[in-house]
């Protein structure tokens, strides 16, 4: 392959690309991948008040297309700056010489939560930035219709899973998954914009996809289903009351007589599991709890050590 001034000339390949084979292979992978091939993010239009979905292909979808496109390469340059990285990948079609380059800026995490190591936290952010940059350049280098076709097939495959199991069963399974992260029904209703009993197959599809993003570590549970803010400033008539002594409430327990961790601690664990793509189920089994929020307060330090140990196993 010859390279001049950042562009590449076409080269002779052993086996030329067969577009029909490419499309067939990508669609077949999309059927198996389903929710892993696309992301869906509900966004409320402030002007109309209606909720619409923002969708796109994942890094898994991009790599599948690049792999099946054949006779192509992806190169990457990285610039490190104080506070951020600049990833500049290039997608090169060896058959045609077509080259596309896109830069992507990734902000470095300011601090790691809890007692987690900053270096490891930055490693995770670096890998995420690299994946996002590769995804962007691949989707710019291959035909847009191929990407759209892959996403549509994956979405239909996800709907087929729901149709097979039924809306109620699929919904309850997703809610069970979310409960492990302390996500309550009202937070799910706030995102979808309707009661659970009114969910359509498409609504369940959205919830399942968000669950997949959480499981893959692409987003934290609190970002996907934000805590509901309640207005504490209610106008109440002023009345005189007799001053009484206040008593401190006993800590909430999880059935074993020990106080639970705080909501902030639960969010820290949730974020750590998501960032490092660790299994929530494995964490709950390790501490014999049903939900993260059920972790005894005196086990918090042990939980941090468990996460650090699992992260070290990742290499």
Mean pLDDT by 10 residues, the chain (315 residues): 55 90 98 94 78 89 97 95 95 94 91 73 88 96 96 96 94 93 92 92 95 88 85 45 44 55 83 74 82 88 81 63
Q: Is 182 exposed, middle or buried (0-12, 13-18, 19+ CB in 10 A)?
A: buried
Question: SS3 for 193?
Answer: coil
Closest Cα to residue 153, out of 249, 260, 61?
61
**Percentage of residues of the chain with pLDDT beyond 70:** 85
Q: Which residues pair with 84 in a beta bridge?
A: 81, 107
Please count the CA atoms within 13 angstroms of the CA of 182 that sit on its side-chain side: 24
Residue 174 has a pLDDT of 94
pTM: 0.69
């Amino acid at each position: 392959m010859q390279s001049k001034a950042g562009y590449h000339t076409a080269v002779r390949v052993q086996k030329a690309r067969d577009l029909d084979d490419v499309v067939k292979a990508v669609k077949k992978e999309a059927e198996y991948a389903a929710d892993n091939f696309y992301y869906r993010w509900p966004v409320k239009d402030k002007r109309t008040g209606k909720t619409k979905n923002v969708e796109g292909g994942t890094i898994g979808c991009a790599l599948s297309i690049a792999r099946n496109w054949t006779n192509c390469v992806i190169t990457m340059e990285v610039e490190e700056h104080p506070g951020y990285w600049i990833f500049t990948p290039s997608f090169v079609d060896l058959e045609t010489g077509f080259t596309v380059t896109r830069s992507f800026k990734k902000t470095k995490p300011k601090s790691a939560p809890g007692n987690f190591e900053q270096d490891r936290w930055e490693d995770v952010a670096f890998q995420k930035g690299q994946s996002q940059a590769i995804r962007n350049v691949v989707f710019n280098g291959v035909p847009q219709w191929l990407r759209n076709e892959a996403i549509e097939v994956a979405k239909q495959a996800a709907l087929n899973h729901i149709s097979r199991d039924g809306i109620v069963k699929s919904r309850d399974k997703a809610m069970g998954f979310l409960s492990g992260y302390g996500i309550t029904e009202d937070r799910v209703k706030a995102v979808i914009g309707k009661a659970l009993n009114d969910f359509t197959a498409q609504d369940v599809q959205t919830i399942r996809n968000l669950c997949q993003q959480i499981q893959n570590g692409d987003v934290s549970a609190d970002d996907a289903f934000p805590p509901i803010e309640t207005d504490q400033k209610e106008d109440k008539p002023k009345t005189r009351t007799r001053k009484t002594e206040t008593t401190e409430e006993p800590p909430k327990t999880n059935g074993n007589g020990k106080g639970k961790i705080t909501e902030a601690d639960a969010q820290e664990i949730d974020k750590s599991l998501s960032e490092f793509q660790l299994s929530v189920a494995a964490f709950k089994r390790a501490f014999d709890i049903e939900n993260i929020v059920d972790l005894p307060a005196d086990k918090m330090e042990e939980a941090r050590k468990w996460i650090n140990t699992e992260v070290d196993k990742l290499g």
